[in-house]
Structure formats: C-alpha cells, structure tokens
C-alpha cells in the first residue's frame, strides 16, 4: 500500500509537463468522496456513513495547464495508527509527499475536525483547508469567519458545498497555488511545558541525522505521544533519541500526573477548541429537520420500527416496482416475438432460442429488480439512516460477537456481498471482520433477491418472499452465534460518529444506481446470453444429465426438488441469478410455476439463498481472509443449506 | 468513612435506611416512605422521623411530597454497605457453605461491623467477585471505581491504563440518564481504546451531554465538542464523569 505506481512517474513528469498530485484527507464522512467525484468526474460510491472509503481512490483532473492526480484517502480522525486506514493515510502523506493536501472539514463539526487539521499542519505538508457542508453549518446557526480561520491556521481556507459543486473552482485554484509556491508556515504551539520538550527532542532528532522522511518536530511529538510505529522506526536508528524521549515524557507525565499521550491529545484539542471558538459564532436555532428525524429513528420503540422498515421497505419496494417494470417489459417484448420458445429443431434454432431466452430472462427478471433495488439502497446509504440502525441494533449485534457498525456492511450485503465484505474493514479486529463477512455470505444479495422474487414472489406471492427473508435473518443470527463461539477472541465496543441526516441528492443517487446497474449490464449480460445458449445446447444433447443424476440423492431425495436442480445449483456457483436463468433456459419458458410445485419453489429459493458464496464472493473472502477461511465459510454455507433446505422441504409438505 | 450519628441513631439504623433507599432508587426513581417502611418493617411514622434526621445530616434529600433521594454523601455510604453486604454473602456462601436462604440475614448483621480494611482483604481473598449469590445483584464497585472484577484483575496486571483524574462523585457514563451532562473525569481501558477516545474528543475535563440511550443495553449517544458520538455500553462504563446537577 505504501507505494503505488503513479508516484514515480509524478517525479519524472513534474519538470516538463505541469503535473500535480492532490490528496484529499479528513475525518470520516465529511464529503471527501463527493468532492472527489466533483473534481474528477468519476463515480466513486458515496455513502453517509463513516468508513466507506476503505482504500484510497485515484482520479485525474485537468485544470488550466495542469494535469492533476487526485487521491481520495480514507477518512480518519487522527494519525495515531489505531487502524490500518490511519497508517495508510499517514504513510501516504509523509512518505509520498503529495504536492498539496486538501483537508476536507465538516463545517458543522468544526472543533473535532480541526483536531486532525492541526496534525496535518504538524506534518508540514502544503495544505489547503476545504470547509465543506457550510450549508449544513448555516442551518445549524453557525456563522464561520473564514478570514479568522485562515489567520489562526496559517493556511488558505475555501468554503464549499460539494454536493452542489459550490466553491470547487476556487478550491482547485487555491490548491494549485498552494502547491506551486512555498507555503508560509505557522506553528501550532502547545503549552510551554510541552513545547519546551518538543523543541528539545526535535533538536536532538535533527542533530542525530536520522534521515527520516518525517519532519523532526512531528517525530518529536509522536515520540512523546508514545506512537508505536515511530518509536520502532527511530529505535532502529538511534537508541539515544528513544532514551531522551522516554525521560522527557516521564517528566511531563509526572508533572501533570497524566500519561503523556493524554496530555498532548488534550492540548491539541484545546488548540482546536480555541481556534473554533475564534472562527465560529453559534446562533440559537430551532431544532432542525435532521434532529426530528433523529428523534424518531433512535426512539426506543419507533427506532426499531424504522430499522425494520428500512429493510422491509427496501425489499417491498424492489418487489413492487420490479414486478411492475418486469410486466411492462414482458408486454413490450411479446409484441416482438413469442416469449416461450421451444427446445427443438436444429442446433441453430436451439442456439437462437437460448440466446433469445437469455436475453428475455435478463431483461425481464434481472434488470427490473436490480434498478429499483440499487436506487433505494443508494438513497438509504446517502441519507445517513444506516448509522441510526447501527445504533439501535448494537446490542443485538453483540449477541453474535459484533457491534452495531457491523450492520452497515451486512445491509450493504443485501446489494452485493463483494463490496460488503470489502467494507468489513470498518470493523476493528480481524475476528470481527471475519464474523461480519461470515454473516454477510448469508445476506441475500441482489442476485439472490432476483431468485427469491423470480421463484417465490412472482408465483406464490410477496408474503412468501418476505417470510424467506425473515427466516434468513433468523438463520444469520443463529449461525452468527455459533461462529462467535467457534472463533475465539474478544469483541470490541462501538465507537461511531452519528452524522446529521441528509436529504439524498438525486444526482448522486442516480449516478450510483447507474454505476452499479451498468456493471451488471456490461459484465454479466453477455455471459447470461452466451451461457443460456450453451446450457440449452448441452441440455438438448444430454451432456448435463450425468451431473444432475449424480446429485439426485441430494436434490431429489433429501431436498425434494426436480432432477435438473443439480445443474441449476452448479450454475449458481458462478452467479446466483444463473439458477433462475438456467431454469428458464432448460425449461424453455419464463413461466417457472408450471415446472415446480410451490414447495419446490420455496425450497429451491431457500437453498439458493444459503448454499454457497458465489465465485466473486469466494474470491474476495480468500483475498481478505485467506483460502482456509474462505473454504471453511463455504462449507458452512453448503452444510447449512442442505440441512435447512431438507428440513424446510419436510415441514412445508405438511402445510402446503 | 466517618459517619455522623445523632441522638437515637445507631450506625446500624443509619446504614440500613441508606441501603434501603439505595436499593429502591436504583432505577432512578425517588423512594416513598411506604416502600421504606415495607422493606425495613418499621412503622411509616418512624420512617418519616428518621428520614428527617438523615436529611439534617445531609445523607438524603427528603420531602413529604416528592419522596426521598440519596445525596452524594448518602450514596457513598450506602454503596459501601451494599458492597460489604454482598462480599459477606459471597464469603458465607462460597467459603463457609452456608445455605443461600440464610446468608442474607447473617450478612445484614455483619455488614455494619466490617472495617474497610477487612472489606478490601475479603474482596481480594474472594478473587474480586462480581455478583452476590442470593439475588444475583452486582456487587457495587469499590472506591477504586472499578466496575467489574475483570477490570480489577486487568488493572492489577497492568493491562489497563487510565487517563484523567479521580475526583469525588464520579458516575460511569452508562449510569447517566438522557439529558444529563457532566465533565469527563477519567477513562480506563486498554491503550488503543484510550487513544481512540481521546482522538474522538473525549479528553479529561471535556463537557459531554447524554443525548440518547439505546434500549436493551444498547449504546449511549453523546454530544461532545459539537459532534454526536455513539459509544457501546461496555465502553461507556469505562468513562467516568463528574455529573453536573
């Protein structure tokens, strides 16, 4: 992570063509990604929850004669290397030295954000402060004196509303100016007690010539704070510096009766508090809309309803809108050609039927459900309600060894497991990331939602589909508890900033929906069509029969499903939609209700929901946690699907 | 602790009253005279008389309309007695193998005469027990403001660090009610947790307001430095606050 390809080319290019690198840094959820998208025109996924950008994103921007690389760093609160993101961001800024760092601040939480700004100033990087969300601050009755802030910080300040693109031009202009001229520096002064020791240690670091890539004063501060990484790095070069730093921090902590890291954090915060109070005037305001929403969403009764409402609403909306769109498209298509081609005739006609069947299935079963789903998911992500759900559900999540924040990746898992597992990085320990990822593999992603709606919702009614989701939640909870017991270790507690609600911006939501839908259309659609044709040919020539026969004891005897299900389940390993698309291809009709009994539809949907992580999910599991964990999780998936599927089949036959 | 005892008051009676109010007010309510009379099996008139005396000594706040609450002084004494009581119960039950039903009465007799030194030794001897045997109630923390035995053991094995200073009248953050405010006094925890909380603005002396408490032992939402921060209950129990009244 500490070295990336563009860093070398940057140095080469800088002399002839005008190339600059701008890094965006700041607290979590202050609007860095919105700003990044505004600057680079890319479609970085945006969400109103902390920790969304877990890796840094890169994009480019052309401004006057400059080619600018923009780096979006993950949101962090400090450089104390509590988490991987903090270390990554710190190393990037200190070691790769971007030409200018834009520190993005949430204007409505100025004091807390300035704590980080002071640390950036200490790193002595060319800095521009971007005071974002000034509209929100204004609504909260805050009046910000920009000139005063500039004076106190000694760096240029630009006010922006990134969601509306306000102030972006000025920001880039100021950043380019800051990058090209030597900035004047203002030192952030601690109390004389602390300051004297920082100066002494910094002088020593200087004279010892440690050849660190960090500024001496910053190293001195970090040593006094007892930063593990820096202490290790310095210890390898000079024991003397470490010895002196230990004596100095001992002196400080005994004179203040307080550990040194706490003294420095406290003083840094008093600086931030002082600057904020000079630059900000707070007027009394009536409670904002966001606060009223807050009251409802964290109410001791209503809060649970809204939490449940988010999930149920998402699914209901997907089904109703999806069904409606699906009907419209089917009707439109039926004008062109009959929808249910038969498997007969020459290879060409079988192939053609397969291609057409794949296309129809994709257009009528996948797209109509995926678009409304992603649309509402983007709205939910953008609104900030996810942090409230995490807040309300914290105690429940503790029962499966996690804390509330894990609910955010879990809900994202309803969209797609892959980014959801990726975003498990917001959890603090490997154990928690693993437990969360395990739970996510059982979360019915959009692909499984298609299977559930396509098999159960359409033919048996939406109440059955919703019941399946409820059963799924129960399964996640029970297996989560087993996993918690199986993976040894302690759970950490929740520390999460609760950001204000936002009215989701339609353009942001629209873009996000399109980005996610596009990947399905471009990447998956061709495979559907080719795959569908292939399946029909293979099926017509009886190539697949041995496979389905081999699986028959499991599929027919234990799960009570038709023999062909064996093939479908194998296809579904690649992507879960292939289960339903494969069925359409094999039966040559989208009217699957004719080929399965109601019990079979439900059992198949249940098994499809649980039975194995799809290929891409498996790959990301292996990447994040290693092969062993990925295989173990998959086996747990398979076993629970077989067990629960078989039980469900036997139970359901009693009632239906 | 030095106990001020007036005429017609014995150490035992003062401590019994304070303990009764303490137990009855645990859910944050004020306590009525009838409730106390029921628990102590004393006539309501005598209870009223005693409460007035205790109010004079500044152990309780008493009003015939609103009922009784403990003052900070009173609470300290009551907690101490309750703690001694439960430690004794553990001792009687675990070591002397006395029957569950009988330990309570016996402990009630002994609690008033147990010295503070003996209490500490007993706690150590019993390996810092967490709950008493007969009713499963938590043993109140000792003066070290330690919430659970796990913490005490960790503190002794240096696994825990502290920032800030112990002052009088400390309340753990998770014992505060919605709308209450106070100043961070000290925080106890592993190094990473402390660093994280400091980074988020919870430095000693910082003013906080409890905005929301999630039900079912859920997190506590604080207003700190103009930002809203949710802390899990476990973490909140390690943050001690000087409450503003």
Between CA A27 and CA A242 the distance in angstroms is 31
Name the DSSP letter for residue B131.
B
Other CB atoms within 10 Å distance of the CB of residue A646: 17
Domain ranges of chain A: 6-180, 192-282, 302-655
pLDDT in tens, A344-386: 556 777 777 777 777 777 777 677 777 888 888 888 878 888 8
Nearest CA to B85 among B38, B19, B150? Answer: B19
Contact A266 B225 (CB under 8 A): no
Contact B163 A262 (CB under 8 A): yes
Find the CB nearest A495 among B161, B200, B226.
Answer: B200
CB-based contacts of A214, cutoff 8 Å, min separation 6:
A94, A123, A222, A230
The strand pair at A127-132 and A157-159 is best described as: parallel
Residue B17 has pLDDT above 50, yes or no: yes
Contacts of B219 in chain A (CB under 8 A): 391, 394-395, 404, 494, 496
Contact A391 B214 (CB under 8 A): yes
Between CA A386 and CA A389 the distance in angstroms is 5
Buried b (16+ CB within 10 A) or exposed e, A424-457: bbbbbeebbbbbbbbbbbbbbbbbbbbbbbbbbb
In sequence order, what are the beta bridge partners of A60? A69
Find the CB nearest B217 among A112, A261, A395.
Answer: A395
Q: Domains of chain B, with CATH numbers? A: 1-143 (1.10.10.10), 161-243 (2.30.30.90)
Contact B199 A77 (CB under 8 A): yes
Distance from chain centroid for Cα B184: 18
Sign for the pseudo-dihedral over CA of A473, A475, A478, A480: negative
Residue A566 has pLDDT above 90, yes or no: no
Find the CB nearest A265 among B203, B226, B234.
Answer: B203
If pLDDT is split at 50, 70 and 90, which confidence band does A82 have?
Answer: low
A404/chain B closest Cα distance in angstroms? 8
Helices (H), A362-429: 367-383, 385-392, 394-398, 407-412, 417-422
Contact, A458 vs A323, CB < 8 A? yes
Residue B146 has pLDDT above 60, yes or no: no
Contact A394 B219 (CB under 8 A): yes
In sequence order, what are the beta bridge partners of A62? A67
Burial label, A351 (beta-carbon count in 10 A; 0-12, 13-18, 19+):
middle
Average pLDDT over residues A529-541: 76
Contact, A579 vs A608, CB < 8 A? yes
Contacts of A493 in chain B (CB under 8 A): 193, 231-235
Residue A490 has pLDDT above 90, yes or no: no
Contact, A555 vs A566, CB < 8 A? yes
pLDDT in tens, A302-312: 878 888 888 78
Interface with chain B: mutation pick from A399, A493, A499, A501, highest number of B CBs within 10 Å: A493
Other CB atoms within 10 Å distance of the CB of residue B185: 21
Between CA A82 and CA A77 the distance in angstroms is 10
Between CA B223 and CA B244 the distance in angstroms is 15
Interface with chain A: mutation pick from B179, B211, B214, B216, highest number of A CBs within 10 Å: B214
CB-based contacts of B193, cutoff 8 Å, min separation 6:
A492, A493, B235, B238
Q: Which two tokens stand for residue A145?
A: 């004196």
B184/chain A closest Cα distance in angstroms? 12
Contact B199 A80 (CB under 8 A): yes
CATH architecture for segment(s) A192-282: Orthogonal Bundle (1.10)
How crowded is the C-beta side of A365, counted as CA atoms within 13 Å? 35
B165/chain A closest Cα distance in angstroms? 8
Nearest CA in chain B to A500: B228
Give the CATH superfamily of A6-180: P-loop containing nucleotide triphosphate hydrolases (3.40.50.300)
Other CB atoms within 10 Å distance of the CB of residue A209: 9
Q: Rounded to the nearest 10 degrees, how much is the dihedral formed by the CA atoms of B44, B50, B54, B59?
A: -40
B192/chain A closest Cα distance in angstroms? 6
Nearest CA to A35 among A49, A51, A46? Answer: A46
Residue A130 has pLDDT above 90, yes or no: yes
Contact, B225 vs A106, CB < 8 A? no
Between CA A308 and CA A388 the distance in angstroms is 12
pLDDT of residue B159: 57
Find the CB nearest B226 among A110, A403, A496.
Answer: A110
Interface with chain B: mutation pick from A140, A252, A293, A395, highest number of B CBs within 10 Å: A395
Residue A115 has pLDDT above 90, yes or no: yes
Nearest CA to A45 among A30, A33, A62, A63? Answer: A33
Contacts of A82 in chain B (CB under 8 A): 192, 195-196, 199
Contact, B160 vs A43, CB < 8 A? no
Nearest CA in chain B to A491: B234
Nearest CA to A102 among A187, A164, A162, A163? Answer: A162
CB-based contacts of A93, cutoff 8 Å, min separation 6:
A23, A25, A73, A101, A120, A123, A125
If pLDDT is split at 50, 70 and 90, which confidence band does A639 have?
Answer: very high
Range of weakest confidence among A123-127, A164-168, A490-494, B137-141: B137-141
Find the CB nearest B228 among A276, A493, A498.
Answer: A498
pLDDT in tens, A171-226: 989 988 888 887 667 888 888 888 888 888 888 888 887 778 888 888 899 888 88
Buried b (16+ CB within 10 A) or exposed e, A235-251: eeeeeebbebbeebbee
Between CA B181 and CA B211 the distance in angstroms is 9
A113/chain B closest Cα distance in angstroms? 10
Contact, A420 vs A432, CB < 8 A? no
A224/chain B closest Cα distance in angstroms? 13
Q: Mind giving me the DSSP string for A192-219?
A: HHHHHHHHHHHHHHHHTT---SS-HHHH
A256/chain B closest Cα distance in angstroms? 10
Q: Mind giving me the DSSP string for A235-270?
A: HTT-HHHHHHHHHHHHHHHHHHTS-HHHHHHHHHHH
Between CA A157 and CA A153 the distance in angstroms is 9
Contact, A46 vs A58, CB < 8 A? no
Between CA B19 and CA B10 the distance in angstroms is 14
Distance from chain centroid for Cα A185: 36
Average pLDDT over residues A29-38: 82
Q: How many residues are there in chain A? A: 656
Contact B199 A257 (CB under 8 A): no
If pLDDT is split at 50, 70 and 90, which confidence band does A81 have?
Answer: low
pLDDT of residue B4: 58
Q: Mind giving me the DSSP string for B187-241?
A: EEE-HHHHHHHHHTT--TT-EEEEEEE-TTT--EEEEETTEEEEE-HHHHTTEEE
Contacts of A111 in chain B (CB under 8 A): 201, 225-227
Residue B143 has pLDDT above 60, yes or no: no
Place of tokens 């990484």: A229
Q: How many residues are there in chain B? A: 245
Nearest CA in chain B to A253: B163
Contacts of A107 in chain B (CB under 8 A): none
- Taking CB atoms within 8 Å and a gap of at least 24, the contacts of A392-395 are A392/A297, A392/A298, A392/A303, A392/A304, A392/A307, A392/B214, A392/B218, A393/A307, A394/A494, A394/B214, A394/B218, A394/B219, A394/B230, A394/B232, A394/B233, A395/B214, A395/B215, A395/B216, A395/B217, A395/B218, A395/B219, A395/B233
pLDDT in tens, B51-108: 888 888 888 888 877 788 888 888 888 888 878 887 887 788 778 877 766 777 777 7
Nearest CA to A266 among B230, B164, B187? Answer: B164
pLDDT of residue B141: 47
Nearest CA to B229 among A411, A492, A116, A50? Answer: A50
Between CA A486 and CA A480 the distance in angstroms is 10
pLDDT in tens, A434-453: 999 999 999 888 788 888 88
Contacts of A266 in chain B (CB under 8 A): 198, 203-205
Across A40-49, A318-327, A536-545, B220-229, which has the greatest mean pLDDT? B220-229
B150/chain A closest Cα distance in angstroms? 13
Burial label, B149 (beta-carbon count in 10 A; 0-12, 13-18, 19+):
middle
Contact A495 B215 (CB under 8 A): no
Q: Which two tokens stand for residue B52?
A: 């007035």
Kindly report the average pLDDT of chain B as a whole number: 77
Other CB atoms within 10 Å distance of the CB of residue A289: 11
Contact A404 B216 (CB under 8 A): no
């Amino acid at each position: 992570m500490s070295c990336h390809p563009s860093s070398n080319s940057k140095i080469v290019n800088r002399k002839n063509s005008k190339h600059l690198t701008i890094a965006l840094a700041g607290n979590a959820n202050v609007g860095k990604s919105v700003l990044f998208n505004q600057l680079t025109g890319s479609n970085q996924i945006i969400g109103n929850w902390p920790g969304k950008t877990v890796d840094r994103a890169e994009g480019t921007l052309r401004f006057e004669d400059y080619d600018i690389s923009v780096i979006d760093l993950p949101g962090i609160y400090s450089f104390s290397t509590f988490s991987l993101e903090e270390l990554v961001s710190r190393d990037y800024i200190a070691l790769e030295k971007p030409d200018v760092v834009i520190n993005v601040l949430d204007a409505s939480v100025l004091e807390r954000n300035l704590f980080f700004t002071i640390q950036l100033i200490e790193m002595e990087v060319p800095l521009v402060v971007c005071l974002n969300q000034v509209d929100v601050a204004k609504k909260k009755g805050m009046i910000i004196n920009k000139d005063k802030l500039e004076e106190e910080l000694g760096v240029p300040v630009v006010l922006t509303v990134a969601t509306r693109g306000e102030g972006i031009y000025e920001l880039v202009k100021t950043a380019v100016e800051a990058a090209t001229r030597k900035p004047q520096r203002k030192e952030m002064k601690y109390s004389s007690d602390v300051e004297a020791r920082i100066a002494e240690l910094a002088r020593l670091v200087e004279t010892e010539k440690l050849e660190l890539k960090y500024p001496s004063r910053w190293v001195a501060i970090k040593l006094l704070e007892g930063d593990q990484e820096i202490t290790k790095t310095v210890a390898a070069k000079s024991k003397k510096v470490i010895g002196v730093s230990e004596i100095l921090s001992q002196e400080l902590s005994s004179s203040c009766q307080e550990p040194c890291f706490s003294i420095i954090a406290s003083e840094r915060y008093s600086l931030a508090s002082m600057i904020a109070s000079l630059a900000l005037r707070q007027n009394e305001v009536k409670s904002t809309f966001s606060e009223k929403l807050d009251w409802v969403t964290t109410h001791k009764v209503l809060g649970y309803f809204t939490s449940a409402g988010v999930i149920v609403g998402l699914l209901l909306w997907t089904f109703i809108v999806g069904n409606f769109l699906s009907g419209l498209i089917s009707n439109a298509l039926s004008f062109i050609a009959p929808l249910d081609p038969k498997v007969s005739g020459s290879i060409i006609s079988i192939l053609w039927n397969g291609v057409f069947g794949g296309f129809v299935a994709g257009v009528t079963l996948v797209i109509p459900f995926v678009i409304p789903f992603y649309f509402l998911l983007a709205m939910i992500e953008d609104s900030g309600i996810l942090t409230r759900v995490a807040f309300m559900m914290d105690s429940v999540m503790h029962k499966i060894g996690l804390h509330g924040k894990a609910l955010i990746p879990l809900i994202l898992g309803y969209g797609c497991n892959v980014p959801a597992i990726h975003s498990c990085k917001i959890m603090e320990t490997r154990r928690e990331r693993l437990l969360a990822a395990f739970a996510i593999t059982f979360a019915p992603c959009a692909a499984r939602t298609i299977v559930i709606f396509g098999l159960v919702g359409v033919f048996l009614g939406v109440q059955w589909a919703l019941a399946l989701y409820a059963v799924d939640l129960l399964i996640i909870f029970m297996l989560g508890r087993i996993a918690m017991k199986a993976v040894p270790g302690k759970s950490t507690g929740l520390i999460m900033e609760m950001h204000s609600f936002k009215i989701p911006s339609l353009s942001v939501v629209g873009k996000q929906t399109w980005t996610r839908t596009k990947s399905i259309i471009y990447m998956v659609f061709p495979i559907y069509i080719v795959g569908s044709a292939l399946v029909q040919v293979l099926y017509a020539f009886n190539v697949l029969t041995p496979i389905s026969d081999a699986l028959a004891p499991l599929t027919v005897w234990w799960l009570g499903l038709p023999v062909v299900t064996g093939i479908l389940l194998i296809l579904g390993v690649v992507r879960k939609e292939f289960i339903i698309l494969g069925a359409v291809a094999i039966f040559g009709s989208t009217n699957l209700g004719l080929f399965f009994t109601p019990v079979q539809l439900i059992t198949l949907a249940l098994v499809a929901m649980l039975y194995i992580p799809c290929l891409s999910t498996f790959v990301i599991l292996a990447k994040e946690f290693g092969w062993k964990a990925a295989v173990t999780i998959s086996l747990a998936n398979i076993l629970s699907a077989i067990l629960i599927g078989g039980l469900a089949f036997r139970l359901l036959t009693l009632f239906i | 602790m030095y106990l001020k005892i007036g005429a017609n008051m014995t150490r035992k009676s003062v401590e019994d009253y304070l303990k009764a109010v303490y137990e009855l007010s645990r859910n944050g309510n004020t306590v009525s005279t009838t409730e106390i009379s029921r628990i102590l099996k004393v006539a309501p008139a005598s209870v009223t008389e005693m409460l007035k005396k205790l109010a004079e000594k500044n152990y309780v706040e008493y009003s015939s309309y609103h009922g009784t609450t403990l003052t900070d002084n009173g609470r300290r004494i009551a907690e101490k007695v309750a703690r001694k009581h439960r430690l004794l119960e553990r001792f009687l039950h675990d070591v002397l193998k006395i029957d569950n039903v009988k330990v309570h009465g016996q402990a009630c007799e002994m609690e008033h005469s147990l010295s503070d030194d003996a209490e500490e030794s007993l706690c150590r001897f019993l390996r810092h027990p967490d709950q008493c045997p007969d009713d499963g109630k938590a043993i109140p923390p000792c003066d070290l403001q330690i919430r659970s035995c796990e913490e005490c053991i960790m503190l002794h094995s240096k696994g825990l660090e502290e920032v800030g200073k112990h002052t009088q009248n400390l309340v753990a953050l998770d014992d505060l009610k919605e709308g209450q405010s106070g100043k961070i006094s000290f925080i106890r925890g592993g190094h990473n947790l402390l660093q994280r909380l400091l980074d988020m603005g919870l430095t000693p002396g910082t003013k906080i307001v409890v905005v929301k408490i999630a039900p079912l032992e859920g997190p506590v939402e604080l207003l700190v430095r103009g930002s809203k921060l949710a802390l899990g209950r476990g973490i909140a129990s390690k943050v001690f606050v000087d409450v503003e009244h």
